[in-house]
Amino acid sequence: MPTPPVAAKHPVTRTLHGDTFIDDYFWLREKDTEPVLSHLRAEAAYTDAVMAPFAGVIESLFNEIVTHIAEDDASVPVEDGGWLTWRRIAKGQSYPVHLRSRPLAKSGAPSSEEVVLDVEALAKGKAFLGIGDFEVSDDGETLLYSTDETGFREFDLRFRDIATQRDLTFMKDGAPQAETIPKVVVATWATKDTVLYIVEDDAKRPYRLYRHTLSTDPATDTLVYEEADARFEMECWRSRDHRHVIIESASKLTTEVRLVSAANPKASPHLVLPRKDGHEYHVETAGDRLFIRTNDRGHNFRLVEAALASSADVFRWKELRAHDPAVMLDDVHAFKGRLVLEVREQALPQLEVVDLAKRTTTRIPMREEVFEVSLEQNPSFDAPTLRLSYQSLATPRSVLAYDFATGAITTLKVDPVPGGFDPARYRTERLWVTATDGTRIPVSLVSRKDVPRDGSAPLHLYAYGSYGLSMPTMFSPARLTLLDRGVVYAIAHIRGGGELGKGWHEDGRLAHKMNTFTDFIACAEALVKGGYTSPQRLTIEGRSAGGLLMGAVLNLRPDLFKAAIVGVPFVDVVNTMNDPSLPLTITEYEEWGNPGIAEQYGWIRPYSPYDNLAAKAYPSMLVETSYHDSQVMYWEPAKYVARLRALKTDPNPLVFRIHLGAAGHGGKSGRYDRFREVAFDQAYLLWQDGVLTRGPDGAWRLP
């Protein structure tokens, strides 16, 4: 193995509530300074040297992944405002082109196509391109779209004349100026020439809503509303019937909603219900009727109906669905005469259709024991069918159409998986693991049917466990390269997520955060005990808040795992949450706690991965980040790796992969670049799993 770089130590003392911690690597926060860049370049060079012998394996895995991808592909056309819209991507292209056409009168098929936005052309010459907002005006003439070119999630909003494919300008001092608005988090049309948009502050908190008129100077835009409470972030979108723009201010525990008339965007916003700490409510509109998802009578939410004019009078709310402690009401979507509900029961997503006239509810049937179902794009308020997406860990994604009137389900498209894929070779299953406090934790698995259950198989265990987010059991063509080499893939649906309702989240945050980590360990132990794998062949992975999970469990039980991928990890929890100037910090207090408060410091300090590193043996690790990541700053994993190198007593590889160029929280942006990143990770896993072999020439090879 090459010799790893050694970071210089410049001790900084931190004392909180009588507890003193010496931080030798605080200096790595000094972004864009030569000492920091020099150290990060040394880490990148070390990673290149460690992984150089696997270059052939990475290339082979990349090529194999590509064989399972339909390189020439197109989405199913969707009718929207008299147009059929879809996207297409061609072999060799990293980005799609968005297209539209008028439907033929009788068949409904597309007529001649027209380009709305060619993202591949837009990305030419750019190392990174992220598309944020993408919405066509009601008259079909103008596209609003936003782009990020660094990965820092800093989006510029622009407006494009679809017919000419030129971005709009406005006149200033007799000369045309680019009509570009910086730092836009989200934007939506109100009328064909009026846009409402939200910008972020220096801490990347969406906090101001503006109104803009096309072909005018953005500097003259009108401030509509400013969110003064630093715990709250803003979001806006237009209702499906195009009658209102919905403006939501939300902290992790409380929400407040305002409505702006789309027909009269200069009117003052209508406050639905004043905020109250701990009350979360979300609004869907259909004309002057409001459908409100509220946790006022239970943390899994109930559904009520209210009149727009009297929305603040809770005594006049009409209950449509009572709170159910066993079923989480995740979301509500309004259509003409109907509601579509996204619910979650027994850690599985379900879709239900409510007929508002008949007051009946129908659950759309699913086909497998473990699956993932979600709504596709459904822009039309009075559409006769509902578009949905169905898949599982072993079943490729299908686009389905559910007929509201008859309940019939039609398959519109099954994503092609070339390269010899046969779903009959694979099995999926759901296990229930008992945690240390008796709580039952669901685990989803997929593997080849011929993989033995004698403890000899390699197994890769993934988890997240934060923010009430549920880990989807989605199909991945790229995962076939692991499954076909005998690797079992598993997802631990641990507390802190949302798989079993809001209580599942509450039992894995703040004072209860340690449950997230002990749940994961219990799942890993159960998989070993059940013969699915052994500690010598068990690899784990988590990203972002899941990277925090990795750091915590590796401190608690380093003996249980062979290797770990620690992606864009939130590992310096005390320092980050003690710095309110950083992006996300203040808004995150309700998820993690505020270390400035003694009691809450007592929650965080025992698990914060950076603070709890110790002089002991750790498994092999691949730690990954991007220099321009705006969600978890690069210095958290950089500090973590530096301190771990100085403390660990084992010879196991510790590889730190950092993108110093344009890349973000999710890595690079083009699809082929992403496939290469997946191939890199897989080569590392197969190396650590003992799956790779060496030929007579000593070169590593895939079996």
CA dihedral 555, 558, 564, 565 (to 10 degrees): 10
274 three-state secondary structure: coil
Q: What DSSP string describes 52-89?
A: GGGHHHHHHHHHHHHHTS-SSEEPPPEEETTEEEEEEE
Considering 629, 630, 659, 689, which one is annotated as catalytic?
629
As a 3-state breakdown, the chain gives helix, strand, coil percent values, each rounded to 5, of 20, 35, 45
Nearest to 276 by CA among 254, 300, 298, 252: 254
CB 155 within 8 A of CB 198: no
DSSP state of 2: P
Q: Is 456 a catalytic residue?
A: no
Determine the residue type at 606: P
CB 550 within 8 A of CB 566: yes
Considering 665, 669, 681, 689, which one is annotated as catalytic?
665
Nearest to 531 by CA among 576, 481, 488: 488
558 three-state secondary structure: helix
- Separation CA 129–CA 110 (nearest Å): 29
Nearest to 295 by CA among 477, 70, 518, 468: 468
Sign of CA dihedral 357, 358, 359, 364: negative
User: CA triplet 253, 256, 259: central angle to 5 degrees?
Assistant: 150
DSSP state of 371: -
Q: Is 629 a catalytic residue?
A: yes
- Separation CA 172–CA 168 (nearest Å): 13
CB 701 within 8 A of CB 688: no
CB 466 within 8 A of CB 545: yes
- Separation CA 665–CA 545 (nearest Å): 12
204-213 CB contacts, 8 Å cutoff, 24+ apart = 204/153, 204/583, 204/584, 204/630, 205/230, 205/233, 205/583, 205/586, 205/587, 206/233, 206/234, 206/235, 207/232, 207/233, 207/234, 208/234, 209/234, 209/236, 209/247, 211/265, 211/266, 212/181
User: At a CB cut-off of 8 Å and minimum separation 6, what does 155 contact?
Assistant: 130, 132, 133, 146, 147, 148, 183, 184, 185
Considering 544, 608, 620, 626, which one is annotated as catalytic?
544
- Separation CA 260–CA 224 (nearest Å): 10
Other Cβ atoms less than 10 A from the Cβ of 178: the count is 13
CA distances from 412 to 400, 439, 445 (A): 5, 40, 27
- Separation CA 683–CA 676 (nearest Å): 10
Q: Is 665 a catalytic residue?
A: yes
Residue numbers annotated as active site = 544, 629, 665
